[in-house]
Structure 1
Amino acid sequence: MGVAVGLAVFCGIALSRFFRKVGPEEALVRSGWGGMQAKSGASGGIWVIPILHQIDRMDLTVKRIEITRKGQNGLICRDNIRADIEVVFFVRVSNSTKEIQEVAEAIGCQRASTRETLVELFDAKFSEALKTSGKKFDFADLYTERDKFKSDIVDVIGSDLNGYQLDDCAIDYLEQTPLEMLSPSNILDAEGIKKITELTAAEKVQENNFTREKEKTLKRQDVEADEVKYELEKQRVAAKEKQEREIAEVTAREQAQALKVKEEERLKAEEARISTAESVGVAEENKNRQIIVAVKNKERTNAVETERVERDRQLEVTERERLVGVAQVEKDKAMEVVEREKQEVIRERVVVERGTVEEREKIKDTEAFYGADRQKKVAIVSAEEKAQEALVTEVKAAEASKQSASLLAEKTVIEAEAARAASEKEMQATKMLAEARTAESAAEGLAEAQVITAKADAQQKEGSAQAVVIEKKAVAAATGTEAQAVAEAKGKEALATAIQKEGTAEATVIQRKAEASAKGKEANAVAVEKEGTAEATVMQLKYTSEAKGIEDKAEAMKLFDGVGREHEEFKLRLNKDKEIEIAGINAQTKIASDQSELVGEALKSARIDIVGGETDFFDKIVDSVKSGKAVDHLVHSSQTLTDVKNTFFNGNPEYFQQKLQSLVGQFDLSTDDVKDLSVAALIYRMLDLTNSNETRGELRRLLGSVTSLGISDQSALSALKLKNDKNSG
């Protein structure tokens, strides 16, 4: 019994394992013993015995296949217009046993229902059906007859799909292919482009016609409405203007009548007021005339007293400034003397240093003379370069002193110009005072007389100021010339001999003529001052006589109206300004003329080589004069050069040679000792050999003399002219 139950259980389990069933969306395909057999889920199950049979499952669900044709591959319609289209096909395996077996044998159960397999199998077939159906319809019909187009696609594909079944298709996307994607070289595309252009152009024309008709209709309606509106507005304005005109006429008549009555009453009142004002005005004018006469008398007295006090104050200020200027000049002269002594010490030190260098180079030349002539020349060149450097140093120092002296001279000139400017400012202040008084007074004749008197005083002051300026300029020029002469003499020592021979006489003449011209200019300034004073007196008398006429004219001008009085005042101011400007121009012209005469007289006997133009010419003339003055002043004012002249020249051209020969003999020097030495080197040699302070001082003066005369580099042998017998001794 237990065995039977166990066998029954075993058979039940075996049967459950051998019988297979699936759902309606799948099918079973059995292969092996007994041949191939297929069963869908709807037709029941199937027995499967392991080892004897193999079972596979096949998907029977609907699959989606998309066919897309766009751009140059778009669908061509019957009218050759290309369309971009996307069509979705719904395909599945048929559920009949025969077709399932057919698909399983041809494709296999696993691949039968994959989307890639379906696309691979039906893409070409469906595309061909799409092209065939599309060629049967125009592009516009694809929209209007979409169901017919879809049915035709299904009919073209048919039902014979080798075991598959086409359930349906759907047009997912349908649009015209853009023109830029079409190829004009394709005959079908060219025809399509032509048709599209014709259709779109016609539609645009029709659309534009509709738009324009709409605009014309709207504009026509607007114009008609505006015409009606303007006509109504015109009627309204006409009625309003008519009413306002009638109201204005009535109002004007009433106002005119009222104004007439008012003006008649005002006329009576004005007549009474004018009569009263005339009486009061006559009394007021008489009163004012008496007040003006009293005020003018007082102002005339005050003006005379003020002018006298101001003139005294100006004289005191001018005298005080002159004393200050003289003290400053004396101070500057003392400073220049100290500076000159300092520069003299510096110059002697430079000369000694340069002589030492030259002596060393001469000793080197003597030692190397018999050795190599080339080395001798090199040493000479080196010595000359060092001497040139020392000379440049002296020139730079002299230029610095020259600039200092020039600044000092310019300072003196500026002070003189400031004094002249003060006089001019005083003249302008007097002129402005006269103008202010003239503007306050109604009597123009009295104001004009005061202006003329002020002009005469101003001219007198201007003459005095010019004299002071000329005097200070002469002092400044002398001081500046002296300072510049000292500075330039130090920078031009190398040229002193030539300047002394050729320029001493001319410089002396120029100096004397310049001094004479300065004195003449000073006398001329005094004469100008007296002439100005006399002219001022004459003009004062002249204008005093005219003042009476001007006063009468002023009384007559009181009778003028405002316009006539203003015109006469303008004429008087214009004439006054004109005379003041002419006086200033004449004064400047006179100063320039006197200066040109002074320079011309000073340079009348000078020999001048003109080089340069414009201001260079004048600057070169002044520099030449200063150079001559420098040499002359150097000789006359330098105690050292005076001692040298008295010691070594003594009025005899050969005295210098005799003095030098006596010194050489004193130190027992032979021709061999001095033949390779310069004059400066010889003097340095004698300075080293002596211990006497007197002799050393004499030798230093001699060294300064030969340096300033430019003969320090001359051969000592040629200067001494020693005889050959001294060489043997």
Structure 2
Amino acid sequence: MHSWFILIGLALMLLAGFGGSLFGNAWGPLQQVISLAVGALLLVIGFIFLMISKFYVRPSANMAYVRTGFGGRRVVLDSGALVFPYLHTLVPVSLETMKLEVERKGPDALITRDNLRVDVKAEFYIKVQPEVDAILNAARSLGDKSVNAQSVSQLVFEKLVSALRSVAATKDLVEIHAQRDAFASGVQQLVRSDLEQNGLTLESVTISRLDQTSQELLSDNNIFDAQGKRKITEITQAALVERNRIEQEARREITLKNVQTQKEILELERQRAEAEAAQQAEIAKIQAERKREAETYRIEQERQIQEAQIQQDQAVRVAAVERDRLLLLK
């Protein structure tokens, strides 16, 4: 659009100078003045639009700029500014949260209070607050570099490593492992003030990986590694002794349990045998009683039969005697 304003303005200004030859007496001084004034106005408007379109810079919501050079230092935030080549320098400042990863392992691993090395991978979440002072401090810290995750990492990497080392040196390996959040909080508190001097705000610190450094990577010529190896040997040997004690104790408990179980089984079998013997004795007793009762009943029956037979025989004899007596009387 600015091109049209400029072209029309130039055309009107040319018309002011050569309109008389084109329109004759109809083109008088008044028309020349109006044509010249309108042409100049359109030309100025066109140049203004041209400057705005070419040199006006407006940051996005997640970005800010620091303009330096002619007119002094100025923070461009939520608005815009004219930036002219050779007169100004523009430093972009990202307002997004930046994730900076710091990993220390092997020979570079952290040294704990008990002289053990620990491999650590930490993530630092950092951002520049959308405030004028914070943006200026961030831009000053990085000079003319853009404020992004890569440049910020180069600036504060050693600070972050130093904070990790300082906090690790105050805690034992087991303590760091058991209290990761406390370790991360200690690092965050230690490094926060240093980052604020660079216009950076530390949002959080997370420990994504934490493990003892492999013993093969430790050097016998390093006093910390030598002490660490001795500590590892002491701990592992103590653990082996304790494990052996636990295993032997477990075997003893298993044997005792087996013996106790066998005793209980034998006692149950004895009780079962006694119960079976008592049951057999009771059955034999009942059978003998039933047999005795049956024999008594049989004897009684035979006695009664014999007595009946005797009575019958007596009756027969009495009847015979009585018959003989009657015969004699006749």
TM-score bucket (shorter structure): 0.5 to 0.7
Residues 183, 189 of structure 1: 8 Å contact kept: no
AA at the equivalent of 2:105: K
Deviations 1:624-679 (A, max 9, x none): xxxxxxxxxxxxxxxxxxxxxxxxxxxxxxxxxxxxxxxxxxxxxxxxxxxxxxxx
Q: TM-score, normalising length from structure 1? A: 0.29
Q: CA deviation at 1:200?
A: 1.7
Quick one: which of 220, 240, 246 aligns to 1:201? 240
Quick one: which of 57, 60, 64 aligns to 2:99? 64
Residues 103, 109 of structure 1: 8 Å contact kept: no
Q: CA deviation at 1:157?
A: 2.4
| 2:264 aligned with 1:225 | yes
Partner Cα distance (1:9, 1:230) in 2: 116
Quick one: which of 172, 181, 193 aligns to 2:208? 172
Q: 1:105 to 1:198 in 2, by over 3 A?
A: same
Deviations 1:489-528 (A, max 9, x none): xxxxxxxxxxxxxxxxxxxxxxxxxxxxxxxxxxxxxxxx
Quick one: which of 27, 34, 48 aligns to 2:71? 34
Residues 66, 86 of structure 1: 8 Å contact kept: yes
Partner Cα distance (1:65, 1:149) in 2: 17
Partner Cα distance (1:152, 1:87) in 2: 13
Q: CA deviation at 1:111?
A: 4.2
Partner Cα distance (2:246, 2:218) in 1: 26
Q: 1:69 to 1:192 in 2, by over 3 A?
A: farther
AA at the equivalent of 1:40: L
AA at the equivalent of 2:75: A
Residues 65, 119 of structure 1: 8 Å contact kept: yes
> What's the counterpart of residue 13 of structure 1?
49
> What's the counterpart of residue 156 of structure 1?
190
Q: 1:182 to 1:20 in 2, by over 3 A?
A: closer
Q: CA deviation at 1:174?
A: 1.7
Q: 1:159 to 1:47 in 2, by over 3 A?
A: same
Quick one: which of 273, 277, 284 aligns to 1:234? 273
Deviations 1:422-442 (A, max 9, x none): xxxxxxxxxxxxxxxxxxxxx
Q: CA deviation at 1:181?
A: 4.3
Partner Cα distance (2:153, 2:91) in 1: 23
Equivalent residues, number: 243
Partner Cα distance (1:83, 1:39) in 2: 44
For the pair shown, the structure with the greater C-alpha radius of gyration is 1
Structure 2: gaps of 5 or more residues: 1-33, 288-330
Deviations 1:392-440 (A, max 9, x none): xxxxxxxxxxxxxxxxxxxxxxxxxxxxxxxxxxxxxxxxxxxxxxxxx
Q: Name the structure with the higher strand share.
A: 2
Partner Cα distance (1:210, 1:177) in 2: 32
Q: Name the structure with the higher helix share.
A: 1
> What's the counterpart of residue 129 of structure 1?
163
Q: Where do residues 44-443 of structure 1 align in structure 2 (5 Å cutoff)? A: 44-49=79-84, 52-105=87-140, 107-108=142-143, 110-115=145-150, 117-161=151-195, 163-165=198-200, 166-183=202-219, 186-201=225-240, 203-205=242-244, 207-208=246-247, 211-212=250-251, 214-216=253-255, 218-235=257-274, 238=277
> What's the counterpart of residue 276 of structure 1?
none
Deviations 1:37-60 (A, max 9, x none): 22234xx33233566444443323
Deviations 1:516-568 (A, max 9, x none): xxxxxxxxxxxxxxxxxxxxxxxxxxxxxxxxxxxxxxxxxxxxxxxxxxxxx
Partner Cα distance (2:161, 2:233) in 1: 26
Partner Cα distance (1:178, 1:125) in 2: 26
Which secondary structure does the structure 1 equivalent of 2:173 belong to? coil
> What's the counterpart of residue 25 of structure 1?
62
Residues 91, 164 of structure 1: 8 Å contact kept: no
Which secondary structure does the structure 2 equivalent of 1:222 belong to? helix
Which secondary structure does the structure 1 equivalent of 2:194 belong to? coil
Partner Cα distance (1:26, 1:102) in 2: 15
AA at the equivalent of 1:63: M
> What's the counterpart of residue 401 of structure 1?
none
Partner Cα distance (2:93, 2:242) in 1: 56
Q: CA deviation at 1:107?
A: 3.2
Partner Cα distance (1:149, 1:9) in 2: 62
> What's the counterpart of residue 9 of structure 2?
none
Partner Cα distance (1:54, 1:72) in 2: 43
Partner Cα distance (2:173, 2:50) in 1: 65
Q: 1:31 to 1:180 in 2, by over 3 A?
A: closer
Which secondary structure does the structure 1 equivalent of 2:59 belong to? coil
AA at the equivalent of 2:243: K
Partner Cα distance (1:208, 1:64) in 2: 48
Which secondary structure does the structure 1 equivalent of 2:71 belong to? coil
Partner Cα distance (2:106, 2:280) in 1: 76
Q: Where do residues 314-713 of structure 1 align in structure 2 (5 Å cutoff)? A: none
Which secondary structure does the structure 2 equivalent of 1:191 belong to? helix
Greater relative contact order, per chain length (Cα 8 Å cut-off, separation 6+): 2
Q: 1:180 to 1:33 in 2, by over 3 A?
A: closer
Residues 137, 199 of structure 2: 8 Å contact kept: no
Partner Cα distance (1:175, 1:13) in 2: 61
| Overall identity of the aligned pairs, in % | 24
Q: CA deviation at 1:199?
A: 4.5
Residues 82, 192 of structure 1: 8 Å contact kept: no
Residues 94, 163 of structure 1: 8 Å contact kept: no
Q: CA deviation at 1:86?
A: 1.5
Q: TM-score, normalising length from structure 2? A: 0.59
Q: CA deviation at 1:196?
A: 1.9
Q: CA deviation at 1:170?
A: 1.0
Residues 86, 172 of structure 1: 8 Å contact kept: yes
Q: 1:62 to 1:36 in 2, by over 3 A?
A: same
Residues 129, 157 of structure 1: 8 Å contact kept: yes
